[in-house]
Amino acid sequence: MANRIIAFCHIPKVAGSTLRYLLCRHFGIRHACLYDPRHAPRREYFPRDLRVDIKVYPFVESLAGHHLRPYVNFEEFEDRLAWYTVLRDPIKRFVSQYTYTVERLRKLTDFRTWMRTEAKSNLMVRFMAGCEDLERAKETLAGKVKFVGLTEKFNESLVLMRHVLELEEFNVSYPRPMNTSARRKGSLQHDVMANFDEFRDEVIEMNRLDMELYDFAVREIWPEQAAKYGQKKLKEDAAEQCRPRRMGFLELMRLGGSAAYNNLVWKPSRWFDRDRYKDIHTSIMQ
């Protein structure tokens, strides 16, 4: 499709940082990395926002952000957007969200207090449906979202994503996973999992719908995607093509250009757009 834009609905703590790196490296300034300096990732993204950002990114071919949601009607852009997302085992995602909150955001709280005061239930379902509506989330995944990846099959997901979204030159090689608990100091995540039996029932209840959605993706969506590519070929290509390699000069230039444009052009444009959030938006954590 002419003027197609691929749109990554980035659910928190599902390997999105690595994918964002690959997108910036491939598209350069044609990729709009929509993570707002005023904490707009906690806001939904509407047609009005996209109209403004396309003026800032006139050659945009790729969008990514926590606030991009496939259940939103993007009006005149609706037919141009090719949606994709990545899901993760809900329990692991939930615990990872807590460790990120403590280790990166410096909010010192114990796991149970965090669950009862700050954590939000069924976040993956909310990202797909706009509310805790499992059936609507399934319909979005099966109908509107063109590709669904899995963190637990990340390398295979990258190869499949390139194939399904028709990104022929997309390089799926990456040095190492980014923004993971393994790269952060401390053993907070290990401590939570070591005492998980103490929290199990409450965690499962808060993620019950997410668990059903993830199971739906694993049982029905992923096998169909993989079968079209070829299971054996998928494993072989992932093992071969995702191995780390040195970045080429053009890739380095695109990566640097993406970061420079985002910080020097897009972010200042958000600060000066005083009318951007006059409408009442919904927090992603509601």
Chain segment 172-184, per-residue pLDDT in tens: 999 866 555 544 4
pLDDT in tens, 177-209: 655 554 444 568 777 887 888 999 999 999 999
Long-range contacts of 220-228, Cβ-Cβ distance < 8 Å, separation of 24 or more: 220/142, 221/141, 221/142, 221/148, 222/148, 222/150, 222/153, 225/147, 225/148, 225/160, 225/164, 226/156, 226/160
Three-state SS annotation for the chain: CCCCEEEEECCCCCCHHHHHHHHHHHHHHHEEECCCCCCHHHCCCCHHHHHHHHHHCCCCCEEEECCCCCCCCCHHHHHHEEEEEEECCHHHHHHHHHHHHHHCCCCCCCHHHHHHHCCCCCHHHHHHHCCCCHHHHHHHHHHHEEEEEEHHHHHHHHHHHHHHCCCCCCCCCCCCCCCCHHHCCCCHHHHHHHCHHHCHHHHHHHCHHHHHHHHHHHHHHHHHHHHHHCHHHHHHHHHHHCCCCCCCHHHHHHHHHHHHHHHHHHHHHHHHCCCCCCCCCCCCCC
pLDDT digits (tens, 9 = 90+) for 40-64: 444 678 999 899 999 999 999 999 9
User: What is the length of the chain?
Assistant: 286
8 Å CB contact between 236 and 243 = no
User: What's the CA gap between 116 and 114, in Å, rounded?
Assistant: 6
Distance CA 255, CA 247 (A): 10
Output the pLDDT for position 180: 55
Report whether pLDDT(17) > 70: yes
Q: What pTM, to 2 d.p., does this model score?
A: 0.89
- Determine the Cα–Cα distance for residues 253 and 247; give it in Å rounded to an integer: 10
Query: Which pairs from 262-266 meet CB under 8 Å and 24+ separation?
Result: 262/32, 262/33, 265/56, 266/32, 266/33, 266/53, 266/56, 266/57
Residues 81-134 have pLDDT tens digits of 999 999 999 999 999 999 988 888 888 889 999 999 999 999 999 999 999 999
State residue 194's pLDDT score: 77
